[in-house]
Amino acid sequence: MNDDYDGSDLWLRYVPVSDPGLLRRYRKAVTTVIVENADRDKVYRHTPDLAMAPGSTERLMESTLEAAREELVRGLSGLLDRRVRVESRPGHHIPDGAVIVGTRDSSATVRRLVPAEDLAALGDAGYLVRSLSAGPHEFTVIAGGTAVGALYGAFAFLRLLQTGKPVTDLDIADRPRVANRHLNYWDTERLYAGNDESGTGGLNGENGAIFNFAATGASADLNLPLILDRYLVAARAMASVGINGITINNVNANNAYLTPEYIAQEAALADALRPYGIRLALSIRYAAPTDPRFAPDTLTEEQMAPVDADFQAWWNRRARQIQESIPDFVGFTVKANSEGQPGPQDFGYDHGDGANGMAVAVAPLGLTIYWRTFVYNPDVDTDRLKRAYLEFGPIDDEPQPDGSHGRFLENVFLQTKNGPLDFQAREPIHPMFGRMANTNQAIELQITQEYTGQSRMLCFLAPMWEEILKTDTHATDDQGRPLDHRLVGHVVDGTAQGHSATSIVGVANLGNADNLTGHHFSQANFYAFGRQAWDWTLDSADLADDWVRMTWSGDEDVVDAIVGMMMGSWEALVSYQTPLGIGHQFTADVHYGPGPSESDLPREDWNPTYYNQADSVGLGYDRSPTGSDLTAQYFPALAAEYGSIDTVPENLMMWFHHVPWDHPMRSGRIFWDELVDHYYSGVEYVGGMRRTWDSLEPAIDARRFAEVRAKLALHEVDAADWRDTCVGYWQQFSGREIPDQ
């Protein structure tokens, strides 16, 4: 046990298998790695002086199959506690225990052993892992339709060993349900993994972000194009769960990322990530063409209408400049007319015009526009939660000259948060899922824990994402008939309404902290997002089990204890922060501590009091048909369920109803008693997690044990603060005693 281990390898640590019998079986089944032509198809590299920082332990890869080979060698050597042989071709006889990796194009052996139709069914990213034999020799074939697919298969094979699964008699075929599985990286805010321990910055001139573009002081020599170990650890981790794209800067975009100096740095980063199947995108500011740093190539305010030929030509030129350095560039993410960001509405046009204006500009280059729907202009409606659909829905419904409906172009994704507010610990699903039948939609989830404890609280988010993705939208066709496939996940993966362009986006939680995520358990959210983006039908408990075995221990008692902690952590956080559907009760801007009484923020809909509506009658915002009627934005079956206080799920109750203090709950208690019980039970769960963790000290390496222990102690104090602050404030309105616990 390495008591100084800092967590920097994430779930790719590859410690030796501890079970002697299992280790013996693995050593028999795996002896040799064979990757034919691993060095033949080198990926594009734009940066001639691309190099690792002095003292690095990672190594730049030149091809995707080289990355697969090196990962298998690293992983298997670590897991089997001995060096595995590496061969470039199998020779006359395939060795017993060989692991053969490749595509039908790269490997004559794969071509001989794997029928073309088997791989064709798996698409570009899919893979198969098969146990085969030739005479007395048994071996494993990992094949992909592309080198990236083979890389994903290599990681899947390693995961089997890491989690103690059998590696013989395999016949695995897997492909992603969603084509574009991206991270959005916000490099200057919502950054809770900086190495200064505050989660908001960094040491030695770094800003706390994972990538160095403008570090100063002692870190000035570590800016891109120099590649740091942590970049490649993150790349390997992304590839291990199938993430294939990253938007590398904040949606509140800095135009510097469009300058030649930054593009050169971005190209270097793209070069380093490319072997792992990861493509870069940029967040941009709609009004970038007016920025004087681009002079003389700037536009006037009069040229900024999205339909203006000069506006479109400017974005085409800028995109071409990027693509010259990054030929596999994805495109742009745009936050427009939201929270002070400029957009088409500033020039008299709507979001459809804005998104299409940019889409037309980049379509000849094969690029995509991700247009975020996080808008809440108070002029649209008094209820903030209704505003996005009121702006975007009519554009999706709009009849077109060819008889179709929907104005958004095919190279546009509307990027929509999972709920109608803002990444709260539990929200109803966004009404736009299923309603936007004529538009490509990407769901946006938040991996970084803005409202779910940041890097201070242990909160495993996979159960929340599972709940969201498996919620029934009750979507119907244009005849009002229920769709055959209508869960949110079906909308996202295109099976609900026949969309072939599909995307899921996670706001990343990476930083320059030693463990890359600030809290050791926040690594689990990064891991789970990738796995659920690949296949949203996966069970979150299974993901927790895998991650624990890969990260902490394969001991069954330890696994059971840690998985138990994780699987209740999200519901506990909901209970002590925002139970029964009370939303957004956070202190201003920080979004961490409790602030239910705040009422003087610059915007009414930033105030916790706007959402809690606390009075002597009850608590919660009435969005039923007798209130703001948000429920009308959902399909009829869901609208009816949410619209009645007697049928709404109790965990969403205050999102839709102003609930009387004495309302009878399904437990037999009145609402006040149920509410208080949630606050107390949530804190009690955190105390239970802390005690469970303390009991694991003999089984966990010292540094990580101590760091998690300290986090849990802080977590328990802060959870109690949430309970006491909120219950005390609600008590002023309810006039009721705290029930016996």
Active site residue 124: no
Examine residue 532 and state whether it is found in any structural domain, yes or no.
Answer: yes
pLDDT at position 198 over 70: no
User: CA 274, CA 42: separation in Å to the nearest integer?
Assistant: 10
Examine residue 599 and state whether it is found in any structural domain, yes or no.
Answer: no
Q: What is the average pLDDT across 148-169?
A: 98
DSSP 125-142: T-EEEEEEEETTEEEEEE
User: CA 215, CA 221: separation in Å to the nearest integer?
Assistant: 8
Cα dihedral 15/57/196/204 (nearest 10): 170
Catalytic residue among 339, 477, 694, 697: 339
Query: Are the C-beta atoms of residues 42 and 63 closer than 8 Å to each other?
Result: yes
pLDDT at residue number 273: 98
Domain total of the chain:
2
Task: Give helix 260-273 / helix 309-325 axis angle, nearest 10°.
Answer: 50
Handedness of CA 685, 691, 695, 701 (dihedral sign): positive
Give me the residues paired with residue 49 across strands. none
pLDDT at residue number 589: 81
Cβ-in-10-Å burial (0-12, 13-18, 19+) of 124 comes to: middle
Please tell me whether residues 251 and 134 are part of one structural domain: no
Give me the residues paired with residue 182 across strands. 245, 505
pLDDT at position 741 over 80: no
Residues of the chain above pLDDT 70, percent = 99
| Domain containing residue 392 | 180-551
Catalytic residue among 187, 391, 396, 422: 422
Please tell me whether residues 153 and 194 are part of one structural domain: no
Distances (CA, A) of 104 to 95, 121, 335, 588: 20, 14, 42, 56
Q: Is the peptide bond prior to 225 cis by the omega test (within 30 degrees of 0)? A: yes
| Token output for 644 | 């009645």
Q: What are 512-544's pLDDT values in tens digits?
A: 999 999 999 999 999 999 999 999 999 999 999
Please tell me whether residues 480 and 333 are part of one structural domain: yes
Q: What are 617-659's pLDDT values in tens digits?
A: 999 999 999 999 999 999 999 999 999 999 999 999 999 999 9
640: number of Cβ within 10 Å: 15
Examine residue 668 and state whether it is found in any structural domain, yes or no.
Answer: no
Please tell me whether residues 197 and 109 are part of one structural domain: no
Query: Are the C-beta atoms of residues 180 and 503 closer than 8 Å to each other?
Result: yes
Q: For the ranges 323-327, 714-718, 737-741, which has the lowest average pLDDT?
A: 737-741
Average pLDDT of the chain, as a whole number: 97
Please tell me whether residues 403 and 517 are part of one structural domain: yes
Examine residue 691 and state whether it is found in any structural domain, yes or no.
Answer: no
pLDDT band at 588 (very low <50, low <70, confident <90, very high): confident
* Among candidate residues 528, 551, 574, the one where a domain is terminated: 551
Query: Are the C-beta atoms of residues 563 and 548 closer than 8 Å to each other?
Result: yes
Catalytic residue among 36, 450, 641, 716: 450
Query: 539-545: long-range contacts at Cβ-Cβ below 8 A with a sequence spacing of 24 or more?
Result: 539/466, 540/460, 540/462, 540/463, 540/465, 540/466, 540/567, 541/567, 543/462, 544/460, 544/462, 545/163
* Among candidate residues 536, 551, 566, the one where a domain is terminated: 551
* Among candidate residues 509, 525, 551, the one where a domain is terminated: 551
pLDDT band at 136 (very low <50, low <70, confident <90, very high): confident
User: CA 131, CA 109: separation in Å to the nearest integer?
Assistant: 14
Active site residue 716: no
Q: What are 5-14's pLDDT values in tens digits?
A: 999 999 999 9
Give me the residues paired with residue 133 across strands. 138
Please tell me whether residues 382 and 508 are part of one structural domain: yes
pLDDT band at 740 (very low <50, low <70, confident <90, very high): confident
Active site residue 450: yes
Please tell me whether residues 140 and 194 are part of one structural domain: no
Please tell me whether residues 208 and 162 are part of one structural domain: no
Please list, in sequence order, all residues whose beta carbon lies within 8 angstroms of the beta carbon of residue 664, skipping any fewer than 6 positions away: 670, 671
Distances (CA, A) of 52 to 8, 9, 566, 606: 17, 17, 36, 45
Nearest C-alpha neighbor of 695 from the set 519, 560, 542: 560
Examine residue 432 and state whether it is found in any structural domain, yes or no.
Answer: yes
Query: Are the C-beta atoms of residues 514 and 8 closer than 8 Å to each other?
Result: yes
Examine residue 337 and state whether it is found in any structural domain, yes or no.
Answer: yes
Global confidence as pTM: 0.98
| Token output for 597 | 């009484």
User: CA 188, CA 220: separation in Å to the nearest integer?
Assistant: 18
3-state class (DSSP) for residue 368: strand
Examine residue 52 and state whether it is found in any structural domain, yes or no.
Answer: yes
pLDDT at position 333 over 80: yes
Q: Is the peptide bond prior to 296 cis by the omega test (within 30 degrees of 0)? A: yes
pLDDT at residue number 214: 95
CATH number at residue 107: 3.30.379.10
Handedness of CA 410, 319, 210, 334 (dihedral sign): negative
Q: For the ranges 202-206, 376-380, 638-642, 691-695, which has the lowest average pLDDT?
A: 202-206
The residue whose two tokens read 């709260």 is 424
Cβ-in-10-Å burial (0-12, 13-18, 19+) of 481 comes to: exposed
Please tell me whether residues 204 and 140 are part of one structural domain: no
CATH number at residue 414: 3.20.20.80
Q: What are 455-503's pLDDT values in tens digits?
A: 999 999 999 999 999 999 999 998 999 999 999 999 999 999 999 999 9
Please tell me whether residues 131 and 222 are part of one structural domain: no
Please tell me whether residues 258 and 379 are part of one structural domain: yes
Give me the residues paired with residue 98 across strands. 32
Examine residue 403 and state whether it is found in any structural domain, yes or no.
Answer: yes
Element (H, E) at 626: none
Please tell me whether residues 168 and 237 are part of one structural domain: no
Query: Are the C-beta atoms of residues 288 and 319 closer than 8 Å to each other?
Result: no
